[in-house]
Structure 1
Amino acid sequence: MEHHGSIYRKFKPHFLMLLVQIGYTFLYLISEASFNHGMNPHVFTTYRQFIGGVVIFPFAYYIESEVRPKLTLTLFLEIFVISLLGISLPVNMYFASLRYTSPTFISSMFNTTASITFAMAVAFRMEVLNLRNPRGIAKLLGALVSFSGIMIMTMYRGPCIKNLWHPLIHIQRNTATQENWLKGSVLMVASCITWSMWYIMQPFTMKRYPAQLSLTTWINFVGGAQSAIFTVIVQHKPTAWTIGFNIDLWATLYAGVACSGLIVFIQLWCAQKKGPVFVTMFNPLATVFVAIIAYFVLGEKLYLGSIIGAVILIIGLYLLLWGKEVDQQMHIKSQVQSNVTCEDPEYRM
C-alpha cells in the first residue's frame, strides 16, 4: 500500500492535468453547442468567471483563513495583471478570433501555447536547457516534435477517414462565419502569447500569495469584472445578457464551476509543483480528445493528417515530460546530497 501511495504522489500532477484536459474537452463541445444556440461568447466568459469565483469563495474563506496573506495594493495590482493576462484578454481574443477563422484552426493554434511558454521559461531561466546531457536534448526535441505535430494537424488534412456509424448526437452548427484569416490569426497568436505570460507569472505570484484557493477566487472575480467592462463596450444589446433554462445555462454553469473554478485551482497547484511548462504541455491532449469524440459521437470528419499529427504530438509530449521528470529528480537528489553534506560532522570539521 505504501508503494502504491508513493506512485500516486509522484504522478498526481500528471493525473490531475489529464483530468483538466478531459474537462476542457467537454467545455469545448458544450460551449460550441451554446454559441450555435445564440449565446454571446463574451457574456458567456463574464458569467463563467463570476460563477467560478462564487463557487470557490466559501472554500477559500474558511480553509485558508490562517494562511492567506494580507492583500496589499502591490499584490492586488499583480492579481489584476494576472487576471488580465489569464482571463480577460486571451479568452475574449480567443472568441473574437473564432468569428474570423474556424474551430479547427483555433484549437490547433491554441496548442502553440506550450512551445511559447517553454521558450519564455528558458529565456527567464525557469527551465534549464543543457544540450550537453540527454535530459536537455529530450526537452528541446520534445518541444520541437510537439510543435511539428501541431503544424501537421493544422496544415495537412490528407484523406478523410470514413465514419463507422451514424452520429449519436447532432449539434447544429452555424456555417455563416465572416472569414478574415489574417485578423483571426493575429488575434489568436496574441491570445496564445498572453496565456503563456499568464503561465509564466503564476509561480512568482504564488510565492507572494501562496493561498491557491483565494488566488483562484480573486482571479475569477477580477477577470470577470474586466470581461464585463469589455462586453458592455462591444455588446450593446441588453437581451444578450439573458439566459434561458436551456443549453446556455448548463454550459455556463459547467464552465464556471468545473473550468473557472476547479480547473484553474488545479492548474495553479500543478504550476507551483511542476512549473508552467509542465501545465501547458498537456494542452494538446484536449485537441486529440475533441477529435476522437467529434468523430465517434458527433459524426464529424476525421482526416489522416489529424491522426498523424496527434501521434507525433504525443511522442513529443512524452519526450519533454521525460526530460523534465528526470531533471526534477536530479535536482531533488542534488539538494538532498547537499543537505546531508552540510549536516555531516566531518564536513563541519
Structure 2
Amino acid sequence: MRWGLLLIVLGLCGTTTGTVEAAETEPWNDPFWSLLHEPAAIAELQLNADQQQAFHALRDDLDLRFFPLRNQTKEVATAGTLKIIAEAREKLSDLLEPQQFQRYQELVLQRLGNDAFLHPLVVDRLKYNAAQQAKLEKISAETNEAAAALRQAVADQTKDRTAAQQEYTKLLERQQKKLLGVLTPIQQSALRKVVGQPFTGLKTSQPHFRAPDFSTAGEWLNSSPLSLKELRGKVVVVHFYAFGCINCIRNYPWYLEWSEKFKDQEVVIVGIHTPETNAEQNSASVRRKATEAKFRFPILIDAKKENWNAWGNSMWPCVYVIDKQGYLREQWAGELKWQGNDGEKYMRSKIEALLTE
C-alpha cells in the first residue's frame, strides 16, 4: 500500500497541518479536554436531547473552574487542570453510551496525530515489543528536538515563519513514515481500527469555552451593571486594561473605531479596568481617564481583581471576543499592533464573522 493512502486510511493525515509555533505539552492542551469544546467533535457523537443538556451543563461547569487556573503558577495550574480533565473523563464516560465514548476516544487519537503511536490506548492494542517501543520513542524524540529548533529559529527571527512552517510540515510527514515503518502489517491494521473512521471535521472546528460572567461587586461606568447572560444574542468584546499602561493606551484607537463601526449592530464592547498600580485604584481617576479617552462604552472597575481572577487573565491589555451564546471564541493578548502584527484586523474579522452566526 502506498504511504499517502495509508496515512489517510489511518486517519492521521491531520498531523501535517499543525503549526510550528505550538509545543503542546501542557495538560490544558490535552486533546481529550480541547475536543470537548469543539462543536464538530461533539456533533459527531450524535447526542440525544437529554445528553446534550447534561453535556453542556457539565462542560460549562468545568470551564468556569478552569478559567481561574490560567494565571496561577504552573504547578497549581497543572494540578488543577489534571484534576478537571480526570473529572471530565469520568463524567463523560458515564454520560455517553459505550459506542459514543469509543468514538470520542478515536477522535482524541486522530487529533493527537503522530503522538497517537505512543498513546496508552494504542500501545496496549498494538503490543509493541521492547525494540519497537524504543524505536518509536527515539523517532518521536528526534522530531520534537527538530521542531523545537524550528520554533527557536522563528523566535530568534533567523528563519522566516512561512519557510519554517513548510519545514515543519515535511518534518511531520517524515516522522509519520518512520513510525509506520516500525510497525508490522498486523499492527498497521490494528492501528487503523483503534483510530477509527477518519473525521475531517477536526480540521476546521473552532473551540467554544463558556466565558465567566462579570462580577457583581464592581462599579460600572457608562452603564448599569451588565451580565453576559442578559447580553445573549449579541457579540461581546471584553478588554482588560489599566489606564496607566502604555500598551493598553496604544489599543484605545481600535476600541473607539470598533465602537463606531459596530454601533448599529449587535455588538457590545465592555472595558474591565483592573489596576496595576496603586494610583489606578482610585475610581475617580478611572472615570476621569475614561472620559479623556472618549470611552462611551460600558466599563467595569475591577478594583479587587475579581474579574481578572475569574477570567484567569494575566496581561494588560487583553481582548476577548464572546459569541451570541456566551462562549469565548477568540482572544488577543497584548497590543493589537505589536511588532507588525495586525491583531486589529484579525479580531475585527472575528467580530464580523460571529455577527453572521
TM-score (normalised: structure 2): 0.23
Higher RCO (C-alpha 8 Å, min separation 6): 1
Which protein has the bigger helix share? 1
Which protein has the bigger strand share? 2
TM-score (normalised: structure 1): 0.23
